[in-house]
Every structure is written in C-alpha cells, then in structure tokens.
A and B are shown apart, each in its own frame.
Chain A
Amino acid sequence: GAVVSQHPSWVICKSGTSVKIECRSLDFQATTMFWYRQFPKKSLMLMATSNEGSKATYEQGVEKDKFLINHASLTLSTLTVTSAHPEDSSFYICSARPPGLANEQYFGPGTRLTVT
C-alpha cells in the first residue's frame, strides 16, 4: 500500500516552454501532497505544500507564478514549470500524506527535467 506515482519519469523541453508533472496517490486519498526539488548529491528541498481544494503554500524563495501547483482531487496534484529555463533543470519529487497520519509521507519515483 501507500504507492505514489509520477508522470513523466523524465522530460526534455526547450527554454520558454512549460512542462506539467503529475503526482498520483494510487491506493489512498491524500489531502496533502508535497513537491520537492533535488539537486545532484544534495538533500530534498521542499518547494510547496499542496492541499486539496485550496491554494498551495510555497516555501520562501520559490516563485509561485513559475511553479504552478494544482491539487484538484484527493489523488492528483500537478506541478507546472512555466517558461522553463536551463536553471530549472532538476529532479522533482512529490510525496503524499495518507489521511490521519500527520507524520508519514510516501514519495513518488521522481521526474528528471532537462531544459535545453
């Protein structure tokens, strides 16, 4: 149980285009999902907390207009990187929190974004 998927697993896009990444909780409903970014050989950096039916809460320094988050259902959250630039290239990981478990998070497999 507690499986989280991400799609796509990797994507290459050109500068100036937008890319959407999907995060799904497959066998549980998640009122809260998290989006992380990870640079090579570094720990995970929280970008935003996504709550179903409400606006996402962004961490300091993360541009809301650049990283659009939508959590329209209890099993799906999306991250859209708008007007992507090479510096947005990174490994993006989502996680989902099962209902009633304030502490636990289950992670997706990650999405490798390369902006050329």
Chain B
Amino acid sequence: GENVEQHPSTLSVQEGDSAVIKCTYSDSASNYFPWYKQELGKGPQLIIDIRSNVGEKKDQRIAVTLNKTAKHFSLHITETQPEDSAVYFCAVIDDSNYQLIWGAGTKLIIKP
C-alpha cells in the first residue's frame, strides 16, 4: 500500500523567511497531493493541492511542487508570518479506496 514520509518533523524559521516541507510517497500511480494546515485544537484545513498533470501550483505565498519521477512533493511558504505557525500535513490519495494517506506532520514555528 501507499506510504508517505514527511520531513522535517519540526521547522523553525525567522519571520519573513521561507519555509519548505517535503514529502515522499511510494505508489507511482498516485495522482492527487493535498496539503493541510492544522491549528491547535482545530480540524485540518486544505490550503493547497496539486494533481499529477502539473509540476507546480501557486496561491499567493504558498506553492506546491511535484516531482513524479522522484515521487516527492513539497510545500513552500514565502514571507512567513506569525499566523503561519501550525502543524502542516501532506497527504496522498490511495487510488484503491480514495482514502487519504497522511504524512506524520511538520510543526512550523515562526520566530518573531
């Protein structure tokens, strides 16, 4: 079955700097890759997603890149702000049952 690995587990960056979180997956047939942001005590919120027919997608300060050959995708946050502090999860859809396979999460800390 699909396996997703996410790194780093914790990332601390200075406010205004960029943050990059990486995930790798095992099933080359996977074609949908969402990123979720979870604030303390709240449910995950979809912030950006990418499908396998594109290599990059951008939404203001957030971007996701996908390398299908290497089977990894990354979340890029530029000009980080205090409100970006949260836990970020990558996920991959398991094509056999359309369930989300989750990464372990990255705690992003924005230092003022």
Contact = CB atoms under 8 A, between A and B. Distances in A.
Contacts of B104: 42-43
A44 B87 CA distance: 12
Determine the main DSSP class of A at the interface with B: strand
The size class of the interface chain B forms with chain A is 20 to 34
A77 interface: no
A107 B93 contact: no
Nearest to A107: B43
The size class of the interface chain A forms with chain B is 20 to 34
A49 B44 CA distance: 17
B41 interface: yes
A103 B105 CA distance: 20
Nearest to B92: A103
Contacts of B32: 103
Contacts of A112: 41
B42 A43 contact: no
A104 B46 contact: yes
A110 B42 contact: yes
A43 B43 contact: no
A46 B104 CA distance: 14
Interface of B: 32, 34, 36, 41-46, 49, 89, 93, 97-100, 102-105
Interface of A: 4, 6, 34, 41-44, 46, 49, 91, 93, 95, 97, 102-110, 112
Given A43-B102, A43-B105, A44-B89, 4 more contacts: A42-B105, A46-B99, A93-B44, A108-B43
9 contacts: A42-B105, A43-B102, A49-B97, A102-B93, A103-B34, A103-B98, A104-B46, A110-B41, A110-B42
